[in-house]
Amino acid sequence: MDFFSDWFEFILTELSGIIPLIIGIILIATVAAWNLDVKKQINDIEKAKKRTKIYEAFFICGLVFFIIMVAYSLMVYIGFSSPGSCHTGTQFNENEIEAFNNSFTSFEGAVTGSQIKALLTRLIANQKTYDDELEKIPYVYINEVSKDKEPLSIEDGSEETIVNEEVVETKTYRYIDSSNIVVIPEKGKDIEYIRTISAIKNGIENKHSYYVSFTYQDNGMVDFVIISYDAEQKGKDIDMNHLHRDEVVSVNN
């Protein structure tokens, strides 16, 4: 089911052949309606047969055209989404990739906690901008948020209670460990990405020195933003071999 929904979304958003496809559908529907109209309104059986054959020929042509467009869209979609492809349906040139990466890689190296907060703020803004374009939403990994290793509280919705006969809405929270956090963008779970990064941001020590490094997707775009608590290690305390989006399954809970 996911394949067909993704394919349909791909046709609507990426495939330039969508207009001929729609024309083909309209042509089939129109010819079918004409065919019914001819059979009802023309009394002369011979004329009705001749006209019906003409409309049926148009109908067959439209149907063949429609099948060709469906087959073409499937081939293009499969080609774009195959494992060997370096993107997930959207093509980017080198300048676009460089400009995109620069918004994050400018924080690379040893940085203060305040700069980490600025980076996390940028990641949240980036997620809101691109939403379901997952290839443009970096994964985030941090080995330690703070020295005290206190659990992080994440906003988890809200609940309503009645106080003095009035309905009062209060936020609810859940807690996660502040070590080895992986934040993953997922379709339909954008709020989880934002809330988890916000919780990390709240726990960052402003004056402490962290270290930021990156891994990259096959197409050159930033894949993982990696934050190490100990700047002196320069990221050597983190095994980056497994920090690739294809190997990570779900958001940290």
Say if residues 209 and 220 touch (Cβ distance below 8 Å).
no
Q: Do 72 and 106 reside in the same domain of the chain? A: no
- Looking at the whole model, is its pTM more than 0.75? no
Say if residues 184 and 248 touch (Cβ distance below 8 Å).
yes
Distances (CA, A) of 10 to 3, 14, 17, 189: 10, 5, 11, 20
Q: Do 150 and 214 reside in the same domain of the chain? A: yes
Domain that holds residue 64: 2-81
Q: Is residue 138 part of a domain?
A: yes
Q: Do 133 and 163 reside in the same domain of the chain? A: yes
3-state secondary structure of 17: coil
Of the candidates 81, 104, 137, which is a domain's last residue? 81
Say if residues 108 and 213 touch (Cβ distance below 8 Å).
yes
What is the H or E stretch that residue 179 is in?
A: strand 179-183
Q: What does the pLDDT look like over 51-93, one tens digit per residue?
A: 666 667 666 766 777 777 767 666 655 554 443 333 444 567 8
| DSSP, residue by residue, 167-220 | EEEEEEEEEE-SEEEEE---TT-HHHHHHHHHHHHHH--TTSEEEEEEEE-TTS
What is the count of structural domains for the chain?
A: 2
pLDDT at position 21 is 62
CA–CA dist 60, 212 (Å, integer)? 61
Tokens in use for 23? 């024309």
Q: Do 49 and 160 reside in the same domain of the chain? A: no
Tokens in use for 6? 């993704």
Q: Do 26 and 138 reside in the same domain of the chain? A: no
Q: Please return the burial class of 220, using the count of CB atoms within 10 Å of its CB with bins 0-12, 13-18 and 19+.
A: middle
pLDDT grade, residue 206 (50/70/90)?
very high
